[in-house]
Amino acid sequence: MNTDALQSQLESYFKWFHRHPELSNDEHETTARIREILTGAGVEILNIPLKTGLVARIRGARGSSAPAESKAESHSSPPDGPVVALRSDIDALPVTEISCLDYASEQSGVMHACGHDFHITALLGTALLLQAEKENLGGTIKLIFQPAEEGGGGAQQVLDTGVLDDTAEIYGLHTAAENKAGVIAVSPGPSHAAVGAFRILLRGVGGHAAYPHLCKDPIVAGAQIINAAQTIISRNTSPFDQAVLSFTHTEAGSNWNVIPPEALLEGTTRAFSVEKLTGLNEQLKHIAVHTGEVNGIAVEYEWHMNTISTNNDPALTAFVSETAKAMGYRVQPRLPGMGGEDFALYQQRIPGVFWTIGVGSPQALHHPGFIADTAALSAASRLMAALGKEALRRLGAIIL
């Protein structure tokens, strides 16, 4: 398929996915459409227990540098040759789109504001490219269309099926709103932060707003907690450590003259190590519980880690960068960000690289005005296909 034909095919796929966004763990139509396109192209879909999302497989000739029949049997070689996984996520966000695109979201209050529609489409293009030259593949490619990346536990669901137990390397992509269409950005080490989510429930005593001395006011205590918590980063974290603490949801009371009995505070902590993230939450819990105590308020503190930080393998990062440069892409380093990405869970088990491709959006990811420039679709597909093919060639060479 020539570049123009692939690009126009992908643009039409992309518009469909953009029109039909679905939230985490609810990606039924999306999965059906992916299945339809892959099946139409003759790509095998693995029968694994995923409610939404799917994993497809493209098996090439076994080994990379010799015809299959001339190779000696080796017990250390897996039956399908080396396996490389390529991953896209497929879920959308509870965001109301404000664009005037003719293919804007048709699902009220739901939008592909993180560019996962771009990722799906790019990986479908990769599937078409690799399927067309499967005889030249020196092993097996697994294409992961992962559900529920936006905090819904999707990577863990895929890992729990065991479908990646035989995988040697994994590659994932994300759109970069801030970069021009087609620019590749990648760096070794952590690129996305470990993410904590906390919930603080304050239980006081409600009553008449005219008689606050007869109440235990959870709103005042909550405000003190929010203010005191600002010192966790500003006074207790080294300026050389990257960390974030944000309150994102407060809820208390329902009218102007009643002091409510309870207040709720929620938010997120971010850091690049589990130790630092745990430390941030211990400090916040300490502040919350003791501030509550001073005010006569009982405090329940809960937190959980949504994901660990990503960690790009240095040698494989160089491989991505060199492969992209050899294909004529502009490649630049990617500064780490405090966003989270559950691709990290794959990297905990399998060496891999999470790289980004520019889509020149006027607004950032998760913004209702995010628009991905579709010009980079076939470029993303081609790079991902090359990474899969070249990684198999390299791995095959090692096995043989």
* Residues of the shown chain interacting with Zn ion in the complex, contacts defined by CB under 5 A: 114
The residue (of 207 and 339) whose beta carbon lies closer to Zn ion is 339
From residue 190, alpha-carbon distances to 22, 339, 348 in Å are 29, 11, 12
Per-residue tokens: 276? 């630092």
The residue (of 54 and 114) whose beta carbon lies closer to Zn ion is 114
Residue 112 has, within 13 A of its CA and on its CB side, a CA count of: 30
Q: Shortest Cβ distance from residue 7 to Zn ion (Å)?
A: 23
Q: Strand pairing partners for 252?
A: 263
The residue (of 95 and 386) whose beta carbon lies closer to Zn ion is 95
Q: Shortest Cβ distance from residue 307 to Zn ion (Å)?
A: 12
Q: Shortest Cβ distance from residue 247 to Zn ion (Å)?
A: 20
Q: Are strands 298-307 and 258-259 parallel, antiparallel or unpaired?
A: unpaired
Q: Shortest Cβ distance from residue 308 to Zn ion (Å)?
A: 16
Instruction: Give the number of residues written for the chain.
Output: 400
Calpha distance 172→343 (Å, rounded): 7
Calpha distance 207→212 (Å, rounded): 7
The residue (of 152 and 388) whose beta carbon lies closer to Zn ion is 152
Q: Shortest Cβ distance from residue 119 to Zn ion (Å)?
A: 8
**What single string gives the DSSP state of each residue in 129-188?**
HHHHTGGG-SSEEEEEEE---SSS-HHHHHHHTTTTTT-SEEEEEEEETTSPTT-EE--S
From residue 71, alpha-carbon distances to 77, 135, 160 in Å are 11, 16, 33
Q: Residue 264 is inside which H or E element, if any?
A: strand 262-271
The residue (of 114 and 225) whose beta carbon lies closer to Zn ion is 114
The residue (of 82 and 152) whose beta carbon lies closer to Zn ion is 152
Q: Shortest Cβ distance from residue 149 to Zn ion (Å)?
A: 6
Q: Shortest Cβ distance from residue 26 to Zn ion (Å)?
A: 16
Per-residue tokens: 322? 């060199």
The residue (of 114 and 173) whose beta carbon lies closer to Zn ion is 114
